[in-house]
Amino acid sequence: MAQLGAPRYSLAGQSCVSRPECAHDHPDAPLMYAITCAFGDYEALDRFLKGIFPPYPEGMLSGGDPGWIWYHEKSEDGSDVVVVEIDDIISPPDGMWNEYSPAKIRYEIRAALNNFALQHPARLPHVAHVIEEFGLGDAMDYPGCTPIPTWDGTMPTRRILNS
């Protein structure tokens, strides 16, 4: 990702997200940073995902270092949203946050899993497990984003990238 505040915390080149060059002021910047961190330990890919997919555990925060959390909330109109917050150390001076719809979360996690499999082919069985665990196998089309084909359990043929 591009910068996101202090250059020493940039994750450029390590990210599997659909917007790896996401600028700090882009509405998706908090989500791109959090996904990069969530998949960054390369161990349990579902470790940080349980709180952002239904059934939403009451009061569950997921996140870690460096400086990010995400969690489910009800918006003022009663709809489900996932809130992503990035600490001010990563994104000075005030940090950053945004709310995302469940459809946006599903799309971006699926895109990241697709890209992660391409970056780490030996992890394909783990990617398949997470896609099945959270029901992410259907084709996905999110407004303004590259469509994602139906998951067939084989290695994806291309990265999912959005500008």
Q: Tens digit of pLDDT for each residue in 123-138? A: 999 999 999 999 999 9
**How confident is the model at residue 12, as a pLDDT?**
45
8: confidence class by pLDDT, cuts 50, 70, 90: very low
Q: Among residues of the chain, what percentage have pLDDT more than 70?
A: 90
1: confidence class by pLDDT, cuts 50, 70, 90: very low
Of 63-67, 83-87, 140-144, 151-155, which gets the smallest average pLDDT? 63-67
Residues in CB range of 90: below 8 A, 6 or more apart? 4, 5, 6, 9, 33, 66, 67, 68
Q: Tens digit of pLDDT for each residue in 52-97? A: 999 998 888 888 877 899 999 999 999 999 999 998 877 777 888 9
Any bridge partners for residue 41, and if so which?
none
Q: What is the pTM of this model?
A: 0.89
Q: What's the start-to-end Cα distance of the chain, in Å?
A: 12
Other beta carbons within 10 angstroms of residue 18's beta carbon come to 27
Domain boundaries, the chain: 7-133
> What's the count of helices (H) and strands (E) in the chain, helices before strands?
3, 4
For residue 145, give both structure tokens.
């984003």
